[in-house]
Structure 1
Amino acid sequence: MAGRPALLLLLLPLLASLAAGAAIGGSAEAAEALGWRAEPAEAAAGGLNATVSTEVEFGVCTVTCGIGIREVLLTSGCPGTEAKCIVRVEECRGPVDCGWGTPISEDLACVKMPCIYIRPENRFKYVWKMLILNKTALILPNDSAIMEVCRDTHSVTFQCETQENGNIIASVKYTVYAKTEMQTKKSRRTETGQSRRTTTDAILVFCLATGIIVTVSVIFAMIFMILHWAAVKAIWKSKSGQDNQDKKLANKRSLCNME
């Protein structure tokens, strides 16, 4: 009976360590059940060092103004033998003012103009304005990313501001010409195209005629030489002989002068 208290005192530390181990095991099982996984301290430290030592390079922005996207490249630690690999794609910003834009489509009646944005387009707010010379711009009720307007009797300038959280991140302007101006421009383009076509045709005709004349002349010269080859040969020989005689006389004169 006296030895039982001593035995209990010896067993208490063992029971405490077993209880702690069971608690730790239960926590690990619960963590695995929740999808968590504990990593060794060395692995965690290695992962931290790898994160710190990685080098990141930013790709070229898809736009020179407004808002666009760019690639973020990893230059070390890529899988396999790849020197660079894409980590993610992020937004990039350029100057707000994008100047004059190009409509999506236009004809003699209407023009369709886009604002500057990236998807999803409903993330931004669009403010369309009609710019009036020496007056305050008129804000239009249209708040969509694309606006279609029909031509009037006079030209009108529109501007679209793309806003995010109350800040302007992009701005672009369009000029919608009047119907009469578009008709005049179209007629001028037609006349210019016709004049260029006429000039090109004249040059081609001149080159073709010159080529034909030169070719015919060469053919006639070859035919003449073939038909009168003997006479041509005699003329060539006589010319060669005359040249030789002239050379001899020149040599004799030079010798006489030397004497």
Structure 2
Amino acid sequence: MAGGAALLLLLLLLLPLAAAEPPFAEDDGGSEAAEEPRGGRPLPGLNALESMELEFGVCTVTCGIGIREVLLTNGCPGSETKCIVGVEECHGPVDCGLGRPISENSASVVMTCIYIPPENRFKYVWKILTPNQPAHILPNDSAVMEVRRDTHPITYQCETQGNDSVIASVKYTVNATTELQTNQSKRIDTGQSRKKRADAILVFCLVTGIIFTVGVIFAIIFIILHWAIFKTVLGSKNGQDGEEEKLTNKSSQGSM
């Protein structure tokens, strides 16, 4: 009797479990999975059931590493034909040529490598370039480096590396203090010579304009003062022309 009661109690406990929901179907990685765009990175906020048509914007740089927009051209909210769904890295030619220091003075120069945030994603290799000699690698491995001017010009190069490959390179020429002063003196002399040349041209134009204006004024005054003479001369000339015309007409009539 006790055994039957225990069996009945066990059946009552198992009935709610049997009436529970069936187990979930095995996920086959189909429509429930987030669809990924080109590049292998999922874009948040996209409906996986819609066909994704992506378009890529212009890279923010012409060399080295930059970013560009990823645009969705189908399935944008509202009436928008295109909407930004994310950004991604983009790469241009590795060699960026000669760069400009971020700050410099008569004693030191501050230079920077090419990178995009976060800075610690990349590896930086600073080198000193010497003609016809192997490059000398410096111990500095940061994105920004400050150097003091030497007695002769030195060319520095920074290589930005990612995934064990160089993705950007930039060079800096650090002039010596004497050369910096010489270049500054040359720029000052050039600026002064250009200013003197411009001043001379301006003075010439001003003097020419004054002379022309004074000449015109004198001519007008002379005509006003001698207007009676001019009028008499013009009248006599017109009379002579009339008499000549009359004589010509008479001679022509006599010949007829």
Which residue of structure 2 aligns with residue 84 of structure 1? 82
Moved more, 217-226 or 157-166: 217-226
| Structure 1 counterpart of 2:216, one-letter code | V
The Cα shift of 1:208 comes to 0.6
Residue pairs, 1:37-76, within 5 angstroms: 50=50, 52=51, 54-76=52-74
Which residue of structure 2 aligns with residue 225 of structure 1? 223
Instruction: Summarize the Cα distance change of 1:74–1:236 in structure 2 as closer, same or farther, 3 Å threshold.
Output: farther
Which residue of structure 2 aligns with residue 103 of structure 1? 101
Which residue of structure 1 aligns with residue 37 of structure 2? none
Which residue of structure 1 aligns with residue 21 of structure 2? 23
| Structure 1 counterpart of 2:61, one-letter code | V
Report % sequence identity. 65
| Structure 2 counterpart of 1:131, one-letter code | L
C-alpha distance in structure 2 between counterparts of 1:191 and 1:102, whole Å: 23
C-alpha distance in structure 1 between counterparts of 2:140 and 2:58, whole Å: 33
3-state SS in 2 of match to 1:23: coil
The Cα shift of 1:112 comes to 1.0
Unpaired stretches in structure 2, ≥5 consecutive residues: 1-14, 25-31, 33-46
Instruction: Summarize the Cα distance change of 1:230–1:138 in structure 2 as closer, same or farther, 3 Å threshold.
Output: same
| Structure 1 counterpart of 2:65, one-letter code | I
The Cα shift of 1:48 comes to 5.1
Which residue of structure 2 aligns with residue 120 of structure 1? 118
What is the number of residues matched between the two proteins?
A: 215
Greater share of helix residues, 1 or 2? 1
| Structure 1 counterpart of 2:132, one-letter code | N
The Cα shift of 1:93 comes to 0.5
Moved more, 65-74 or 198-207: 65-74
The Cα shift of 1:238 comes to 4.3
The counterpart of 2:211, out of the listed 213, 217, 220, is 213
| Structure 2 counterpart of 1:87, one-letter code | V
The Cα shift of 1:123 comes to 1.3
Instruction: Summarize the Cα distance change of 1:245–1:172 in structure 2 as closer, same or farther, 3 Å threshold.
Output: farther
- How does the TM-score come out when normalised to structure 1? 0.73
C-alpha distance in structure 2 between counterparts of 1:80 and 1:244, whole Å: 91
Moved more, 122-131 or 236-245: 236-245
Which residue of structure 2 aligns with residue 182 of structure 1? 180
C-alpha distance in structure 2 between counterparts of 1:57 and 1:240, whole Å: 86
The Cα shift of 1:242 comes to 5.7
Q: For residues 131-151 of structure 1, what are the alpha-carbon distances to aligned partners after superposition, in whole Å with 9 as ceiling and x for unaligned? A: 122221111111111111111
C-alpha distance in structure 2 between counterparts of 1:242 and 1:169, whole Å: 95
Which residue of structure 2 aligns with residue 9 of structure 1? none
The Cα shift of 1:239 comes to 4.8
C-alpha distance in structure 2 between counterparts of 1:244 and 1:81, whole Å: 88
